[in-house]
Amino acid sequence: MIGLIQRVKQASVVVDEHCVGSINAGLLLFLGVEKTDSNVQVEKLAKKVLSYRVFSDDAGKMNLSLKDVGGELLVVSQFTLVAQTNKGNRPGFSEGASPEHGEAIYNAFIKHVNDHYMQCASGIFGADMQVNLLNDGPVTFHFKV
């Protein structure tokens, strides 16, 4: 499972001209699911994303997590994160999950966050989405669990 987080002042995701998820200050997580991912990766990535210290404390140091600052989370599926790009000029997706498995793991991630940490907003798996964001920093981190 691969996650790319961006610290944002606000973010939203639109499908067919309708906003399906939006947040104020917090994290936007782009989530890529690989074919071997399971609930183990769901739990690891959720804990990592929500505990990762990317928000500034009173001294201006990145010492506070999303949980610490009471920020919001928007989760958007993005299968291109699992692409192999080391050879040629066309990405390969052999490590990517099937659409059925990818959707199940994506939904499991959202459910796990909602059940154990906080309510999060989300996009729609497999939809053609337009993501709008106001990056804060910019601050962007990549995880593979």
pLDDT tens per residue, range 17-42: 999 999 999 999 999 999 999 999 99
pLDDT at 22: 98
pLDDT at 144: 95
Chain CA centroid to CA 61, Å: 23
Q: Taking residues 1-10, report their average pLDDT.
A: 98
pLDDT at 17: 96
Number of compact structural domains in the chain: 1
Identify whether 143 is part of a domain.
no
Give per-residue pLDDT as tens, 67-100.
Answer: 999 999 999 999 999 999 999 999 999 999 999 9
Identify whether 144 is part of a domain.
no
Identify whether 12 is part of a domain.
yes
Domain range for 45? 2-137
Q: Taking residues 122-136, report their average pLDDT.
A: 97
CATH number at residue 107: 3.50.80.10
Give per-residue pLDDT as tens, 41-72.
Answer: 999 999 999 999 999 999 999 999 999 999 99
Identify whether 142 is part of a domain.
no
Task: List residues with catalytic annotation.
Answer: 80
Q: How far apart are CA 36 and CA 129, in angstroms?
A: 25
3-state secondary structure the chain: CEEEEEEEEEEEEEECCEEEEEECCEEEEEEECECCCCHHHHHHHHHHHHHCCCEECCCCCEEECHHHHCCEEEEEECHHHHCECCCCCCCECCCECCHHHHHHHHHHHHHHHHHHCCCCEECCCCCCEEEEEEEEEEEEEEEEC
